[in-house]
Structure 1
Amino acid sequence: MNIFKSTVTALSLLAVFAPAVQAQKKKPQPPNIVLIVSDDHSAPFLGSYGYPEIKTPNIDKLAKEGILYRRAYTTAPQCVLSRAAIMTGRNTLDIQMTRFSAPLDKSVMAYPELLRKAGYHTGILGRNFHLDGNRRVPETVDILEKYDLETFKNRVDYLKTTGNRDSIYQQYSEFLDQAPKGKPFFVQVGYSDPHRVFNAKEFEPNPNEISLPKHWPDTRQLREDFASYLGEIQRLDGDVGRVLDDLQKRGLTENTLVVFIGDNGGALLRGKGTLYNLGLNVPLIMRHPELIKAGQTSDALVSGIDIAPTLLHMAGIAIPKEITGKSLVPSFQGAAFEGHDYIYAVRGAHGQNLPYNSADFDLGRTVFNKKYKLIYNAIWQIPYHPVDFAAQPFWLDLKQKHTEGKLEEKYDRLLFAERRPMFEIYDEEKDPDETDNLAGKPEIRETEHRLKTLLQEWMILNRDYLPLPIEPKAVAP
């Protein structure tokens, strides 16, 4: 009887005090998030991506401690269009961000807003994030202010921009100093490197000791220019290391997801501004000591639209149905993860100039999987014109060689054709440099039609304004 009474009493006390005990147990804090964005950074130009003549120990260490995605592609080969997709998890057509100077409409949700609503302290700092429009033209500024189109001041807790490396670190430190204790934080740290102008002279490798991409002409001026580009990346690596060291000193490493990504490809031959691999394929590395298995390399097809759902998933936030990207979290522990079946990307207007050439204004679309890529050049009559380096000595030298007939035929064809083909198809396995256009060849007729059909569907669903890639068959009168 006494035993029975004692048991009843104990159970009664447990029933009374159990809720209080449970309330005292703290839920694990969602991970902090640091998104580091390099500017104009093509894969594979990092040590961890297998490029031999570059020293990037800090970023390489990040890769060794986390997961590296070899097939990560931006949704456009231009910063505004690409960053808009990264920020929203939606493609650039869907959110109407194909004009370079467009501000992101206030009706379109950016993922930092969702993090903020869920209790995160949020910030964007460093290199201009490019999504509030452009203030270079006074008339544009008047319009932005008249209609209150600059919205990011209302989307995050902390918003500052600078191009100075030391100032970037100061803003980063200030943000963390202001972050409330016990509250998770998200911060985007943007760098200008390796964007032109190249000025990291003390970080440059010897031009004679570097490997050029196989589809580039090997000239002295081109080697010097590319060495300058690699120098910018090596300088960037030191700045990334500074951020990572600070996280360690603050005791934040263990519960911080660090993401490193390029915003689009580099301003290099057949890079930025083009739909080739050097324009779209960027480095993407993620590290979280507890949640991501270290030392992984993934060949899954990944798009810029996947960043937003991944960060929301990590934070335990429901992913809105409008987001079309895929969370990469399933890949974190080495599970089989295929990513996308196909990747889509667009080329739109660039900069604020009038359409003097294809650098300023070009319209193109692409769809590809691991085997084949289709590029649709809607204004194919306009020849290739480089973005951001048309006045550089190496390009002027190539133009002179072309004019004098001293440039090899394959480079003439790739760089100086009077007109581009309307359609290009490349075998990505056999021809990763994308130099042998297979479009129109009988042996890939079915593949070409399938890719055009996929692109047609995507363009229709996203209300694309370009002519569709499959034209009607001629009908007899």
Structure 2
Amino acid sequence: MIRSNALIFLLAGLFPLLLSAQPKSKPQPANIIFILSDDHSAPFVSSYGYPSIKTPNIDRLAQEGIRYTRAYTTAPQCVLSRAALMTGRSTLDIQMTRFSAPLPADVVTYPELLRKAGYYTGICGRNFHLDGNRTIPESAEVYDKYGLETFKNRVDYLRVSANSDTIYRQYAEFLDKTPRNKPFFLQVGYSDPHRVFTAKNFEPDPATLKLPEGWPDTKLVREDFAAYLGEIQRLDGDVGRLLDELKKRGLEQSTLVVFMGDNGGALLRGKGTLYNLGINVPLIARHPGRIKAGQVSNAILSGEDLAPTFLDIAGLPIPKNMTGKSLVPSFQQPSYEPHASVFSVRGAHGHGLPTSTVHFDLGRTVITSKYKLIYNVLWQLPYTPVDFAAQPFWLDLSQRHAEGKLERNVDQRLFASRRELFELYDLDKDPNEFNNLAGDEPYQEIEHQLKAQLQEWMILNRDYVPLPIPPAGKY
């Protein structure tokens, strides 16, 4: 009996040791929610300091995470930009400079890599733009003939809607469908603040709002800009619904939430151009425990960086052909700078014939921490705005231009008969890109250095437009 009791005590003492010796299960990787607004330039969020807009829900993400002030998309157009977001690669490298092109089947996206590693993956909301465009029957026939629509095979859950209530239901349905033992990734796209502007109940007072510096101050310009800001304020409410649902389900602490614009707004010198309003977008990330709250990063970033960031946060290797850099180091060190330079391209837009620079324009830009060089390949053609050439405020400005009633600098920026082949800006002194330094004697060396950087990038990416530095003595 004594021996029996001794054995029991011995086993009781060994039991905790045996349990501790068992291999511990790995913690589940972070969930990922990627919220994309449509045509959203960086200044127009209240946490970015713009005084005429209220975005408390997006601001909450910034207060609880990190806000990036200099995130640049790889193009000022949705298809081209979203292709790089999905792949972590240059728009040129993956041959996606034509607006209606479907993403090639052999180009791997990060949701596919997440899915292969055990994530439940999905895309919902606004059209993701990477399966081509079926509104042209002849194009749809080609897609069907060669099986070019691939995204139904790339993710577990695929839904499309422009209606915000439907998007919320898709979001909730996705969360309901996610297996309990799996982490998830979901891209949620919104149409706001894309034209046509319909958020009438959310508009600020046109008479009192602050116009961007250098804009012509007319009644119609103010009304149009107020309508744009109204779209963003409506969007903010939709973002709040997503965040509240995440918290209600107890998923807030285990989920990385990223908010970003797909390209700049359809505004003066915005969408379709390589100026800041065309490619500098809001980018905010929150992950309690992983991201120190209330941080701000001023490093230059590329749309290519999102894919490697998501793979990194999931603990996955980053493929060598991804040219983007993970932003995870910045989650604790906002001074982290992944790039010395970033690049963007302007390609074909929409589906129309090349009758103006609305549908067809070619341009390249290189951006450093201080300078920016724009290469207008089709420099002989004047600027024509994307998505608002028929809007009343633009028609009114055009009439004022014809009558010589616009302020000289405004008239030259918007209605010059031709553009400069090269534009060089000191972004510290001239953040609005008003003073072109290209050709100025004191900046010749800087201009040449940037052209050389752009030349290298264009060669490596097999660019099809003429290189910015011609053979000596030949033009």
TM-score by length of 2: 0.96
- The residue type equivalent to 2:269 in the other structure is R
- Residue 267 of structure 1: aligned partner: 266
C-alpha deviation, 1:334, in angstroms:
2.8
- The residue type equivalent to 1:402 in the other structure is H
- Residue 281 of structure 1: aligned partner: 280
CA distance in 2, matches of 1:373, 1:108: 30
- Residue 320 of structure 1: aligned partner: 319
Q: Partner of 1:240: helix, strand, or coil?
A: helix
| Correspondence list, 1:401-412, <5 A | 401-412=400-411
Q: Partner of 1:260: helix, strand, or coil?
A: strand
**When the two structures are aligned, how many residues end up with a matched partner?**
468
C-alpha deviation, 1:15, in angstroms:
12
- Residue 437 of structure 2: aligned partner: 438
C-alpha deviation, 1:336, in angstroms:
3.2
C-alpha deviation, 1:340, in angstroms:
1.0
CA distance in 1, matches of 2:15, 2:471: 76
- The residue type equivalent to 1:256 in the other structure is T
C-alpha deviation, 1:26, in angstroms:
2.6
Evaluate the alpha carbon distance shift between residue 442 and residue 290 of structure 1 in structure 2; reply closer, same or farther with a 3 A threshold.
Answer: same
- The residue type equivalent to 1:121 in the other structure is Y
C-alpha deviation, 1:92, in angstroms:
0.2
TM-score by length of 1: 0.96
- Residue 206 of structure 2: aligned partner: 207
| Cα deviations by residue, 1:265-314 (Å, 9 ceiling, x for unpaired) | 00000000000000000000000011000000000111100000000000
| Correspondence list, 1:50-65, <5 A | 50-65=49-64
CA distance in 2, matches of 1:313, 1:133: 29
| Correspondence list, 1:196-235, <5 A | 196-235=195-234
- The residue type equivalent to 1:123 in the other structure is G
- Residue 167 of structure 1: aligned partner: 166
CA distance in 1, matches of 2:321, 2:14: 49
CA distance in 2, matches of 1:149, 1:70: 36
Q: Partner of 1:254: helix, strand, or coil?
A: coil
Q: Partner of 2:22: helix, strand, or coil?
A: helix
| Cα deviations by residue, 1:307-328 (Å, 9 ceiling, x for unpaired) | 0000000000000001010100
CA distance in 2, matches of 1:335, 1:234: 27
CA distance in 2, matches of 1:326, 1:118: 20
Give yes or no for contact 2:254–2:288 (8 Å, CA) kept in 1: yes
CA distance in 2, matches of 1:373, 1:278: 14
| Cα deviations by residue, 1:110-165 (Å, 9 ceiling, x for unpaired) | 00000001100000000000000111100000000100000000000000101111
C-alpha deviation, 1:209, in angstroms:
1.1
| Correspondence list, 1:284-433, <5 A | 284-334=283-333, 336-433=335-432
Structure 1, gaps ≥5 residues long:
none
- Residue 3 of structure 2: aligned partner: none
| Correspondence list, 1:156-195, <5 A | 156-195=155-194
| Correspondence list, 1:25-64, <5 A | 25-64=24-63
- Residue 255 of structure 2: aligned partner: 256
- Residue 22 of structure 2: aligned partner: 22
C-alpha deviation, 1:402, in angstroms:
0.3
C-alpha deviation, 1:412, in angstroms:
1.2
CA distance in 1, matches of 2:473, 2:292: 56
| Cα deviations by residue, 1:347-390 (Å, 9 ceiling, x for unpaired) | 00000000010010000000011211100000111100000000
CA distance in 2, matches of 1:398, 1:336: 42
- Residue 67 of structure 1: aligned partner: 66
CA distance in 2, matches of 1:65, 1:150: 38
- The residue type equivalent to 1:355 in the other structure is P
CA distance in 1, matches of 2:330, 2:341: 18
- Residue 129 of structure 1: aligned partner: 128
Give yes or no for contact 2:297–2:334 (8 Å, CA) kept in 1: no
- The residue type equivalent to 2:281 in the other structure is V
C-alpha deviation, 1:109, in angstroms:
0.5
CA distance in 2, matches of 1:455, 1:280: 17
- Residue 82 of structure 2: aligned partner: 83
Q: Partner of 2:168: helix, strand, or coil?
A: helix
C-alpha deviation, 1:335, in angstroms:
5.4
Give yes or no for contact 2:297–2:335 (8 Å, CA) kept in 1: no
- The residue type equivalent to 2:405 in the other structure is K
Evaluate the alpha carbon distance shift between residue 335 and residue 373 of structure 1 in structure 2; reply closer, same or farther with a 3 A threshold.
Answer: closer
Give yes or no for contact 2:295–2:334 (8 Å, CA) kept in 1: no
Q: Partner of 1:207: helix, strand, or coil?
A: coil
C-alpha deviation, 1:458, in angstroms:
0.4
| Correspondence list, 1:69-148, <5 A | 69-148=68-147
- The residue type equivalent to 2:238 in the other structure is D
Q: Partner of 1:389: helix, strand, or coil?
A: coil
- The residue type equivalent to 1:265 in the other structure is G
Give yes or no for contact 2:211–2:222 (8 Å, CA) kept in 1: yes
CA distance in 2, matches of 1:33, 1:356: 42
Q: Partner of 1:83: helix, strand, or coil?
A: helix
Evaluate the alpha carbon distance shift between residue 15 and residue 310 of structure 1 in structure 2; reply closer, same or farther with a 3 A threshold.
Answer: same
Q: CA RMSD in A?
A: 1.8
